Copies of this chain bind each other. A is one copy, B any other.
């Protein structure tokens, strides 16, 4: 029920971070193999279970992305732990909510929202002022859903 990035725990006695990540991705995404060059940032979660989340990002061609989406639907995890895969809209529509602002209003797991915003900023995927506007829009009180 939450949006997040694929990943998992790595047993550091047996695996490097990248080997562990590629093992997990292999179950769901198939063809991509990430390396140290794709490392972006790390984040220490708060709360009783302190977890360090290491975040990797890779630029794909549209064709590569589509191949991953197709392989994800066919993967063994699909429908169990993973309920689907969605693209992130990088645009903002004229109404100032459509696209990225609405997407950021969804519910994210753990540090996923922080990781997404960090990647969008550091990889220059969204103009800085558009990103700031989108973040600001999701912090306004939302209209309540109409339930009759």
Contacts and interface: CB of A to CB of B under 8 A. Distances in A.
A1 B101 contact: yes
Interface stretch (A8-16, A30-38, A68-76): A68-76
Contact of A99 (B1, B73, B145): B1
B1 A103 contact: yes
A88 interface: yes
Interface residues of A, number: 41
B83 A46 contact: no
A98 interface: yes
A83 B74 contact: no
A100 interface: yes
Contact of A145 (B83, B100, B108, B145): B108
A101 B2 CA distance: 10
A23 interface: no
A79 interface: yes
Contacts of A100: 1
A63 to B, nearest CB: 11
Interface string A64-100: 0010011001100011000111111100000000111
A113 interface: yes
